[in-house]
Structure 1
Amino acid sequence: MDVRGCGHGLHEEEIDMVAMAVTAVVVNTMSGMSLSSRDMLTQIHKRRALLQSIAEAPDCMATCEAVVQLCAALSSSVFPRQTPRWWIRRRTGGTWEDLRLCDDATDEYYRQKLRMSMAMSRQIIATCAAYVEKKVTHYRMPSPVEQVITFTLYRWASGETYESGTSAFGIGRATGLQAVRDVTSAPLQAYPDAIKWPVGRRRPQILRAFRDKGFPNCFGAIDCTHIYIDNRVGAPSDNYYDRKQKFSVQAQVVVDLDLWILHVHIGYPGSVHDVRVLYNSQLWRRAEAGELFDAPPENPPHGVVTRSYLLGDNGYPVACPWIVQPYRGIDQGPDEERFNTRQKVARGCVERAFERLKCVWRLFLRTHKTNLETLPQQFVAVCTLHNILLDAGIDFDENLLWEVDENGVRRRVGNGAGGRAAAAVEQERGRGLVAGCTSRPRRFDVGPCKREGAGGGSGLGGRWKDMGWCDR
């Protein structure tokens, strides 16, 4: 082609078409920018100069030069590019930046980092955002709500330290500490009925499931687990060291056969016995008042009248009418052994619930640094998320139940559950630590979750605190 005396030029129509195509690319990339006013003004000047050079292109050399300039501008981030859809996930650096990518490859990444799908995490973030969002002030912009909630979920799921987690999310350590404080109460407010005693259609479903296991009128299984934490400065270590000489806090949980959590009671030091936790819980007060186990009694063939109850281990008192324990002693007949086997199998749901809860939210699986004032609310928050994921049908990765130790041996993780033996109950009774004692235990203050009228006396300050979120 020969244009303007140039043997290797382009027609004017072709030059105009190239210029129009380049102009269209430039204009399309101008939308969706989230820059400051000064940076936006600089970008506009650069684009205007580039468009001017394209419009005044005299021949093919100038046109090709304009195309080269445009490619160089795109590669130097003068114009933003749409995220390409790679067949593998494109790493951008940092966990938060990777979670922000919106291609199909990030769904598995969400399951790895947050233990849930991308759609489920967005639903939880959208529901909790109204309880976390802060006002814009004249001093600075608040951190994005999505980043704050995602960081808290990531810390609970990964169990990483604040130093490592905040670095992965590009925020400061103080911001991470405040983020956990702000987000902890959000699930409790956004999902007030996630943890509650079974009512409506769910109630007969639970009773029917336990009846199929051989335990009619059973509402669930009860047990305690320990949340291991670092010994904080000035803490009364004698109270918080459990029987395994670990610094911990007790948590009492009731679950059904579907691993749904029906009741949570947390806040007592690790040295407190399971029986004492029970006697000072809202569960005990409501059960003794006849508010919970009100199902009609059943009279099975060749049996006794069966009223409503829970399944528990030998750590609970025999005198409690609504907790069924295994037979004690070593000289047991075939019927007693058969009953103990069935009771242990049915009661295993609470152990499996602890395993799933702690393996998904691994912060509570190992010893970690935390604030004792917010620890009870954090645990209730992950129990709420536990029920939400069960309700949504999120599959549980069985590989989370296993880990490789320092010797390279693959073993099953421990969940810190289990009560004491029956002999320990008598030992505690002799020390005055169960019902009928006159001495008062040392107290543990969990801040805003306290319940008035749950005990009195002196100690660490404040009253006994009963989470009692199952009542909502």
Structure 2
Amino acid sequence: MVKCLLIPSNEEEGFKYFFRVAKKTFDYICSLVREDLVSRPPSGLINIEGRLLSVEKQVAIALRRLASGESQVSVGASFGVGQSTVSQVTWRFIEALEERAKHHLKWPNSDRMEQIKLKFEALFGLPNCCGAIDSTHIIMTLPAVETSDDWCDQESNYSMFLQGIVDHEMRFLDIVTGWPGGMSVSRLLKCSGFFRLCEAGDRLNGSIRTLSEGLETREFIIGGGAYPLLPWLITPYENNNLSSSMCTNFNAKHEDARSLGVRAFSQLKGSWRILNKVMWRPDKRKLPSIILVCCLLHNIIIDNGDQLHPDVALSGHHDSGYGEQCCKQIDPMGETVRETLAKYLLQK
């Protein structure tokens, strides 16, 4: 067992705080990447005693680097290895998990989606709701030769966007990343494969739900005011349009459900602090893989019956310092779906 370097009051809790996963989940992650990490070990992967690093120690080093966001020198000192070893180990782990854990982040099949919809209705009263969408900035530093207005966002940071759709357990069902943080949220959505699938009728295309006499609704997800109001993406009523109790009631239910996306990103960036610190001159081709692997680890914790560690979640908003964007695009069919839902919720 990899020893936790903190002094825990409870060894299991200390292990989980240090690596963000319980020991059983740690063992499962090792099983996923073992073949890759054993089959091609670089000659430099040795510790100060001259021994080849075990798979468990390689995974421990990589998880600690991702979890703490500390420098490679600092992480290396904790494990008795050098900076270059931490760099090699972390990247090999990322490549392996990206390939071996794909099944932990995929759009649900119809049976699983029915369970998700039932949970959203039971928790928030929203029938036929398939998830909540949100997005966040991953801040980075770019060399002067690579600076570009595209990557400079509204707060004058260089950043990369991450958009995610989550279910009732804050599990990521779909993500898109790799796009410059200088884009608008609505533009990011329209660049995603998810948007193209929905517009083509190949996603969120499940059965129509009859609510009551004269009222029915299609499948949809919910998002904040930065997103366009579409037939399959329902946003809240604007504050200047809250003259009726129907709109106010709908917004309250909508906000409760939408907060799942906000909380998921606060948990993700708090658990895997490498995403919440300024990435020093990252390779823009590698950064999406780092982001994806952190999302995979987030889902692996949930899928293994492990618990997301509440104490490490960000205490503030996951995009602290960023002003809320507002999208004025309103699709008439989206308006109809939203009004149908608002009427239904008022009747309940």
Normalising by the smaller structure, the TM-score range is 0.7 to 0.9
Q: Indicate the residue corresponding to 2:343 in structure 1.
A: none
Q: Aligned residues: percent identity?
A: 27
Q: 1:392 aligns with which of 276, 300, 304?
A: 304
Q: 1:167 aligns with which of 77, 82, 92?
A: 77
Q: Distance in 1 between matches of 2:227 and 2:44?
A: 56
Q: Distance in 2 between matches of 1:391 and 1:138?
A: 35
Contact 1:253 1:262 in 2 (8 A): yes
Q: Indicate the residue corresponding to 1:93 in structure 2.
A: none
Give how far 1:262 is off: 0.2
Q: Indicate the residue corresponding to 2:90 in structure 1.
A: 180
Give how far 1:397 is off: 3.3
Pair 164,136 (structure 1): closer, same or farther in 2 beyond 3 Å:
closer
Q: Distance in 2 between matches of 1:359 and 1:303?
A: 45
Q: 1:413 aligns with which of 311, 316, 324?
A: 316
Pair 287,175 (structure 1): closer, same or farther in 2 beyond 3 Å:
same
Give how far 1:226 is off: 0.8
Give how far 1:352 is off: 1.0
Give how far 1:110 is off: 1.4
**2:293 is equivalent to residue 381 of structure 1:** yes
Q: Indicate the residue corresponding to 2:182 in structure 1.
A: 271
Give how far 1:425 is off: 5.2
Q: Distance in 2 between matches of 1:272 and 1:127?
A: 35
Q: Indicate the residue corresponding to 2:337 in structure 1.
A: none
TM-score in terms of structure 2 length = 0.83
Q: Distance in 2 between matches of 1:138 and 1:215?
A: 56
Contact 2:17 2:309 in 1 (8 A): no
**2:147 is equivalent to residue 242 of structure 1:** no
Q: Indicate the residue corresponding to 1:66 in structure 2.
A: none
Q: Which amino acid aligns with 2:3?
A: D
**2:184 is equivalent to residue 259 of structure 1:** no
Give how far 1:289 is off: 2.3
**2:57 is equivalent to residue 147 of structure 1:** yes
Contact 2:268 2:313 in 1 (8 A): no
Pair 304,132 (structure 1): closer, same or farther in 2 beyond 3 Å:
same
Pair 184,419 (structure 1): closer, same or farther in 2 beyond 3 Å:
farther
SS class of match (1:249)? strand
**2:23 is equivalent to residue 113 of structure 1:** no
Pair 314,166 (structure 1): closer, same or farther in 2 beyond 3 Å:
same
Give how far 1:316 is off: 1.6
**CA radius of gyration, larger in:** 1
Counterparts of residues 419-438 of structure 1 (less than 5 Å): 420-422=324-326
Q: Distance in 2 between matches of 1:259 and 1:230?
A: 29
Give how far 1:150 is off: 1.4
Q: Distance in 1 between matches of 2:272 and 2:116?
A: 25
CA RMSD, aligned part only? 2.8
Q: Indicate the residue corresponding to 1:219 in structure 2.
A: 130
Q: Which amino acid aligns with 2:312?
A: L
TM-score in terms of structure 1 length = 0.62
Q: Deviations over 1:360-412 (max 9, x none)?
A: 1111122232332211111111111111111222233332236xxxxxxxxx2
Give how far 1:147 is off: 2.1
Give how far 1:303 is off: 5.6
Give how far 1:271 is off: 0.5
Q: 2:3 aligns with which of 98, 106, 113?
A: 98
Contact 1:260 1:390 in 2 (8 A): yes
Q: Distance in 2 between matches of 1:366 and 1:138?
A: 31
SS class of match (1:382)? helix
Q: Distance in 2 between matches of 1:416 and 1:242?
A: 12
Q: Distance in 2 between matches of 1:425 and 1:186?
A: 42
Q: Distance in 2 between matches of 1:147 and 1:216?
A: 46
Q: Deviations over 1:335-370 (max 9, x none)?
A: 111111111111111011111111111111222323
Q: Distance in 1 between matches of 2:251 and 2:90?
A: 43
Q: Distance in 2 between matches of 1:360 and 1:187?
A: 17
SS class of match (2:150)? helix
SS class of match (2:188)? helix
Q: 2:68 aligns with which of 158, 161, 173?
A: 158
Q: Indicate the residue corresponding to 1:203 in structure 2.
A: 113
Give how far 1:177 is off: 1.6
Pair 105,311 (structure 1): closer, same or farther in 2 beyond 3 Å:
closer
Q: Indicate the residue corresponding to 1:362 in structure 2.
A: 273
Give how far 1:181 is off: 1.7
Give how far 1:230 is off: 2.4
Contact 2:185 2:325 in 1 (8 A): no
Give how far 1:120 is off: 2.0
**2:27 is equivalent to residue 122 of structure 1:** yes
Give how far 1:321 is off: 1.7
Pair 183,150 (structure 1): closer, same or farther in 2 beyond 3 Å:
same
Runs of 5+ unmatched residues, structure 2: 47-51, 330-348
Contact 1:314 1:326 in 2 (8 A): yes
